[in-house]
Amino acid sequence: MSQKKSLFSDAQSRMADIFDRLDVHCDVRRQLEQPKCIHQAAIPVRMDDGSLRVFPGWRVQYDQSRGPGKGGVRFHPNVDADEVTALSFWMVLKCALVNLPFGGAKGGVQVDPKSLSRMELERLSRGYIRAFYDVIGPDRDVPAPDVNTNEIVMGWMVDEYSEISREKVPAIITGKPPEMGGSAGRTAATGRGALLVLETWARRKGKRPEDTTIAVQGFGNAGYHFARLAHEAGYRIVALSDSKGAINTNMALDPEPIWRHKNETRELKGMVYCESSVCTESDVGQISQEALLALDVDVLVLAALENAITTDNVGQVRAGAILEIANGPVTAKADASLAEKKVTVLPDVLANAGGVIVSYLEWVQNRTGDYWSESYINERLADQLVNQAELCFDRADEMDVSYRVAAYLQSVERIVSAIASRGTQQYFIGE
């Protein structure tokens, strides 16, 4: 079986130890071993040349014991039911970890969105909502952006839902444009949250930003905003990569001009990407994406896709710590190898939770009609995420376990309480 097909089983393989540590009742184990619902649809799209293409799409609702499902919609050529199921499972853990009143869900369409025109992309986005209209809703399942989807796509989706329902329902989708009810601060929230987690850990370890080198794999929305904010905070960004290439320097990169150049040319090249007072054009070079993962840096940021670090390349990792902004970027076996090498891993369910926290705040604003400033949103994000990160780190220190184990324990405890409150076997047989 390929790594792609085993993504969900790989994610589940970490749970047996967590269940045993918490002595979780078999009723709860059975409920969390598989998703509640897997919805699949064929989404027809009339192309610009008049031809018809049909794209497979999914919406998986894994568990809703703590509230409505919550999770993004991914457009990618490699999306399949297994991947969407694994992502929905991680959303359950993530929402519980940061104590949000949501369950976990996820969506995806198997498509290369870069091959579509903007009008074709709009038709596909609206077709996704038509396909899954009857299984989503503000109190049922609330989609959001994910890989290759953004606020424009979310705007089309919320508009389509409103057209079908014949009423304005802004709380059905988060990550929308502000003009359509989207929240201030949502676009940068995932990257901002990842930096908050890194800073919380760094303070506990006595690490200073100016002494910390960082390599970032994945220069999309989350990776860019993390790199930009980390650079502003004084961290040294020494390497960046996207799906087409990678660049590095011995000094420090300024992510802002790199982002502008990337959006203009769709390329990462060794041009004048550094601050003029720090380095020159000759200091920046191109490296392979594989070489970036093997750089000797203080922090390796994984902000691309799942399975970036596997048993095939884990031996090449020389970073002292890994920050997982992507979902599932380290396989379970590779995770064990990193632990043996004493590489700190700040896990995805914590590190990328900033996006869902601000999605929750957007959902609340949509339901109340009371909209808040970006500074207030950022304060709420920091308060919620740093508090939950501190609880997780404290547990890891007290129990002498990895941050991932501590995060999973924190999540599963809350999920178990929600499921058990409905009754377990002991309750129903009078014990």
Instruction: Give all domains of the chain, ordered by start, each with its CATH number.
Output: 36-180 (3.40.50.10860), 189-351 (3.40.50.720)
Per-residue confidence at 351, pLDDT binned at 50, 70, 90? Answer: very high
The reported pLDDT for the residue numbered 375 is 97
User: pLDDT of 54-93, one tens digit each?
Assistant: 999 999 999 999 999 999 999 999 999 999 999 999 999 9
**Structure tokens of 89?**
């499972």
Of the candidates 229, 261, 226, the one whose C-alpha atom is nearest the C-alpha of residue 244 is 261
What confidence tier does 28 reach under pLDDT thresholds 50, 70, 90? confident
Measured in whole angstroms, the distance separating CA 112 from the mean position of its chain's CA atoms is 20
Across the range 40-61, mean pLDDT stands at 98
More confident call, 162 vs 266: 162
Please give the pLDDT value at position 175: 96
Q: Is 106 a catalytic residue?
A: yes
pLDDT at 361: 98
Query: Does position 199 have pLDDT exceeding 60, yes or no?
Result: yes
Residue 267 has pLDDT above 90, yes or no: no
Give me the pLDDT at residue 219, please: 93
Residue 189: the pLDDT is 96
| Contact partners, residue 179, CB within 8 Å, separation at least 6 | none
The pTM assigned to this predicted structure is 0.91
- According to the model, what pLDDT value does residue 266 have? 63
Q: Would you state the pLDDT for residue 129?
A: 98
Q: Which of 4, 5, 70, 106 is catalytic?
A: 106
Report residue 5's pLDDT band, with 50, 70 and 90 as the boundaries.
very low
Q: What percent of the chain has pLDDT over 70?
A: 94
Interval 234-262 mean pLDDT:
89
Q: Is the per-residue pLDDT at 273 higher than 80?
A: no
Residues 6+ positions from 429 with CB-CB distance below 8 Å: none
Tokens of 62: 């894994």
Q: Is the pLDDT of residue 265 over 70?
A: no
Please tell me which residue, 182 or 289, carries the higher pLDDT value: 182
Q: Is the pLDDT assigned to residue 270 strictly greater than 80?
A: no
Higher pLDDT, 163 or 252: 163
Mean pLDDT computed over every residue of the chain = 92
Q: Is the pLDDT of residue 117 over 90?
A: yes
Kindly tell me if the per-residue pLDDT of 414 is higher than 80: yes
Query: Are the C-beta atoms of residues 271 and 247 closer than 8 Å to each other?
Result: no
More confident residue, 281 or 343: 343
